[in-house]
Amino acid sequence: MDRPALKNPRIHVIMADGGEWDVQTLNPDILKYEDTALKHKWPQMTDAPQKWTTFLGWRASIREGHIPQDLKWEEFAENGPRLALSVFVSDTEPVDPTQSAPGTG
């Protein structure tokens, strides 16, 4: 059976306050999007790619320590003091499972 390979994209984030960084998304970030999308009846990632990318950027940014753990999705994505102005995929190479996850090693 042919299935598209879902890769963990590397995402670039530019914040309203001038902060800028790259994050490596991991499987837990994608699973969190899927759970949240089901709960809130959001579209599939293929139907809302910018929402998906922004959500993954938010989750990975929290996990990697770029933004506070308590920064709400709505503040990051829609309106708040820590608003993300631009979030985009900067690389789609798969994560090498033999390497330590970013921020853990």
pLDDT of 4 strictly over 80: no
pLDDT at 99: 52
Model confidence at 101: pLDDT above 60: no
Beta bridge partners of 83: none
Q: What pLDDT, on a 0 to 100 scale, did the predictor assign at position 95?
A: 53
Model confidence band, residue 97 (pLDDT cutoffs 50, 70, 90): very low
Report pLDDT for 5: 58
| Residue 51 located in a structural domain | yes
Contact 26, 60 (CB under 8 A): yes
Residue at 69 is within a domain: yes
Q: Identify the domain containing residue 40 by its residue range.
A: 10-90
Calculated CA dihedral for residues 51, 57, 60, 61, nearest 10 degrees: -130
- Cα separations (Å) of 48 from 52, 91, 104? 6, 19, 30
Residue 81 burial by CB count (10 A; 0-12/13-18/19+): exposed, middle or buried?
A: exposed
Asked whether residue 100 is assigned to any structural domain, the reply reads: no
Is 25 among the domain residues? Answer: yes
Number of domains in the chain: 1
34 lies in some domain: yes
Does residue 64 form part of some domain? yes
- The answer to the question of residue 105 being in a domain is no
Indicate whether 52 belongs to any domain: yes
Contact 26, 10 (CB under 8 A): no
C-alpha of 76 from chain center: 11
